Structure formats: structure tokens, C-alpha cells
Amino acid sequence: MKLILKYSAIIITASAISISGCKKKIQDAYLNPNAPSTITVEEALAPIISTMVANSAGSGAINDSRFAGSYVQYWGNSVVSTAANSQSQYDRMGGTSGVSDNAGSQWRAHYYDIGQNCINMIRQAEEQQKWDYAGVGQAIFAWSWLQLTDYHGEVILKDAFNAQLFTFKFDKEEDVYTYVRSLCRQAIANLNKTGGGVSQTNLAKGDAWLYNGDVNKWKKFVYAVMARSFMHLSNKASFKTTLADSVLFYSNLSFSSNADNPYVRFAATGISANSNFFGPFRNNISGLRQGAYIADMMQGRLPVFNGVVDPRSWYILKPGISNIFRGVPVFGGIAGISVVNDRPLNFWGGPSASTVAPVLDTGCTFIFRNAAPMPVMTAAEIQFMRAEAAYRKGDPATALAAYTQGIRLHFDMLINDYPANIKTSREITPAIRDAFLANTSVVPATPAGLTLSHIMMQKYIALFGYGSLETWVDMRRYHYIDADENGNQVYRGFAPPAGTNLFPDNNGKLVYRVRYRYNSEFVWNLDVLKSMGADAIDWHTKETWFSKP
């Protein structure tokens, strides 16, 4: 594999080649004496997998989930600030402004860290008949393209890796969706191949930190991406007649248990490269505190699940020193919680006002430990997709069964995969799980009692933290405050920022996309952005294609 040329340097490289007239590639002409100019597919895959969440440089979806998580009110800033590009700006559904690269990590991850690296890995794998590596690369690339276009809207598809161009045109979201499904089909074809260089033992060399070379689980991952790609189009006219069936078909081929969950795992040996992005060692979320909406939902303070206290709170949230679960109000910080002792501890178990990361993570739970595995997708999410698709298609019995299984799977994921540092007497047992599922305020006794609010709000809980970007897709599909067929708001009790709490650059509108990364597009590709209107201060409020009818 050739040494990778990073996307931000494409213009410089193309210019240098054009001026010199040299046919030789720059990485061949100037070999690095301290590093190899070629690497194997086995060596290439591990850092690509790392970037699916957040690599040692911070590139990846989990980095940007800090900002999208504020949009869906999973969390907010502990101290209110009106400074440009502060975390509080996202609490107000604001967009990134000026020269900041805030919320641009996924763009960098897709085009830099995955991008050409993944393309080269696939090409080399096919040359060597390592079809499993080729299929895994296509699976990851499909997942990344889908997440990228849902996050930004129009993105650069056809021109993306053309080193002869000086400017790069953007493509429609629907074209990216078509390409995602094409990649998925190619991935399945390659993952189904045997012979040649296909070997579980060899695939495990590059895939040691996710599926350990299990091709069957990678196939399920591909089918999960396919199911997502159809679920996201729930507002299209053809959803009830055809697209819902596609969700059900592909989700049925996808994750069936938590053993199928794609977790990126960390050795946590005291270096950033192998530590969880949300853990105290990397110190990336010291200013975040859980939001009031998630806390109130799980404590039974909202109209749905009214009065039911969710035992999962002790696993994924933090109480105050009073042992009461509260969350910060929109653009209110911890000062917005009047009772000081009710203010939530930080996600590492430290004092509510503290932004100092602890030396040890013994007070950390869930995905906030240094060595905690980070989910990319989960079996619970698949079941909630099935529930929503079946419900909207008019099959409440299938919907209720999938809904119930989604909750069960999330409980079991917490019990089995995230038991560390749970307070004594707060551990969830199968009996506690079953009692929760037997409560008809949570799981209706009959399919007729199930509502979209049940489905989407339990999915909201199940995706807390790791699935912020997907939850943001869901909330945009329901335009944050859409009502169901009964006239009730789907996300019951959810209130977007309004008045002076809404960021002024929004011009009274809510956020639907993220501005393109400054240190690539606004530096190298500004004329194209201007032609699209993407330089407007309220570009982030332009509705995305997937959420439109």
C-alpha cells in the first residue's frame, strides 16, 4: 500500500505534480527514512477501526457526539457561556462559526483517517484475494458515508479522492445513500467469498479490537447499515409501502444478540492511542453534565413512563450527592438546578462543579471509563428500528415484540458488558429487569397500547452517550416536536431552546446539519461553498434531505 496522501493536502500535491511535470508520485520520490512507504492490509485495518469512534488524534464520530449530544439534550455544559464556539453554543442549537473546527471531527475522520486509507486497503486486499479484508473495508466505508451525509447534508462524493482537482463539488444526499447501499452489496459479496487469502486467523490480526476476524458478524454489521439507510427515510411517501419492509428485512439479518454488537475495545495502558475518548485519561468531557430531559425521562417525571423509576439510571447517569437524579436545563448549567445537592456528579463521579479529571477511573461507569468498550451500533438499536418500522407499517404486534426485546437487550448489555463500579445494591439483576418489563407503564399489556413515544423514547435511552449522532437523526426525522397520529408529541416533554436561549444566528430556526470543517473546505474549497450558500451563518438550519417528505 502506498503512503497515504491526506485529503487536506490534495491541492498542494496536485499543484506540485502539475508544475514539475514529474510522473513519479511524491511519496515515491521522497521516502521517509523513519517509516515504511508501504504497509500491509493487516496493519492498515486497526487504525481505521479506531477511527470509527475516536482515534489517538481525536478524529471520529464520538468526538462530534459531544456537540450532537447537546442538540438532543443528552447533556449540556456545566457552566453557561456566550463565548463563540463554546460548548454552550451547542446547548442553544447553534452552529460552529469562525475558524473553529468544532464538530468537524467526523469530516476529518472520513476523508483523512478512513478515506484513502480504506480505499487503498480494499484495493490491495482484492489484489491479494483477501476478500474478507476488502469486505470489511467496504462495510466500514459504507457506515462512514451514511453517517457523514446524515450529519452534514450534501457531501463530496464523486470528486472526493481525485488528486488532480483544485476544487471539489458536492453531491446530493440521495446519491450518497445509493452509493452506501452499493458498497454494502459489494461488502456482502466479498465477505461471502472463501479461498484465496481469506482467513479468520489473518483477519483477526487487523480486527483484534472489534470482531476478532468474525466474518459472520461483519455481515450482520453490513445489514445493520442497510437497515439504517432505509429507516432514515421514514418521512418519504413510500415508507409504509416498501421502505419499512426493507428495514424489517435487513434488520432480521442483522444483530440478534449483544454478542453481535460491534464494540471498539481499548487496552487502556496509559496512552491516548488505546484509551476511550470519554474516559478521564483523555479528559474530553470534563465540562459536560447529563441533561434534564434524559434524567426526567428515566425518573418517571414525563408523561410517558409516568412515575416509573428506571434502574438503568445508576449505570448510565450520575446522581447528585443526595442520590437524586437531575440534569442541567437547556442553556442553564448546573446553576439551573436550585438544590445544590441534587446537581449531578460529573461523568467520572467527581463533584458537580469539578472539571478536573481523576487519576483513576474507579468512579466511572458505562462508556466513561478508560477501558470501556465503545459501541458503534447495538442489537437494541436494531430492535427499536424494527419496532418503529412495524408500527408505522401498521403491524403493532410485531412492533410490541421488537420494542420489548430492544429494552431487554439494553438491560442485558448493561448487566453483562458494563458492570464496573456500580454501587452495591444498585446492580441490575434479571429479576429487576423482568419487573421493569412487566410494568405496563413501560411495556403496554397489548399491542393496541403501544405508541411511537414508547418506541422512540426507549430508543433514546438505549442510545444514550454512544449513539448521539443516530439519536439526532431520529429527532430530526420527527422535527424535534412532531406529533404522532394521536396528536401527542413523539418525544414527549422535549422542548428545544427558544427565545433568547436559541442561538441568535439561527434566525429562529432549529439546527438540521453541521457546517463543513473549516480547515479544509473553508480554506481550500470556499468558492464551491459560496455557490451552495454554505457560507451563510444559518446554513446549519437548512433541513436535510433524509428528514423531508
CB distance 359 to 379 below 8 Å: no
Which residue, 42, 376, 54, 48, is CA-closest to 204?
42
Cα(473)–Cα(544) distance, integer angstroms = 10
Side chain identity at residue 485, one-letter code: E
Residue 543: DSSP 8-state: P
CB distance 173 to 545 below 8 Å: yes
CB distance 289 to 332 below 8 Å: no
C-alpha cell at 512: 438540521
User: Strands 263-264 and 75-77: what pairing?
Assistant: unpaired
Which residue, 318, 475, 338, 455, is CA-closest to 389?
455
Which residue, 51, 406, 430, is CA-closest to 255?
406
Q: What is the pLDDT of residue 32?
A: 65
Q: What is the pLDDT of residue 38?
A: 78
Work out the angle between the directed axes of helices 379-393 and 452-462 (0-180°, nearest 10): 170
Reduce the DSSP state of residue 75 to 3 states and report it: strand
CB distance 427 to 419 below 8 Å: yes
Cα(60)–Cα(43) distance, integer angstroms = 19
Q: What is the pLDDT of residue 25?
A: 54
User: CA angle 402-407-413, nearest 5°?
Assistant: 120
Ranges of residues in the chain with a pLDDT under 50 are: 1-23
User: CA angle 36-140-263, nearest 5°?
Assistant: 100
- Chain centroid to Cα 80, Å, comes to 25
CB distance 279 to 371 below 8 Å: yes
Cα(87)–Cα(328) distance, integer angstroms = 13
Which residue, 109, 125, 7, 75, is CA-closest to 352?
75
| Secondary structure (DSSP) of 214-254 | -HHHHHHHHHHHHHHHHHTTTTSTTIIIIIHHHHHHHHHHS
Neighbouring C-beta atoms of residue 463, cutoff 10 Å: 24
Q: How many residues does the chain have?
A: 549
Domain borders along the chain are: 272-477
Reduce the DSSP state of residue 291 to 3 states and report it: strand
pLDDT tens column, 370-387: 999 999 999 999 999 999
Cα(296)–Cα(301) distance, integer angstroms = 5
Measuring CA to CA, how many Å separate 311 from each of 295, 320, 341, 438, 494?
12, 16, 21, 14, 22
Cα(67)–Cα(76) distance, integer angstroms = 9
- Chain centroid to Cα 116, Å, comes to 21
Residue 110: DSSP 8-state: I
What predicted TM-score, i.e. pTM, was given to this entire model? 0.94
Side chain identity at residue 488, one-letter code: N
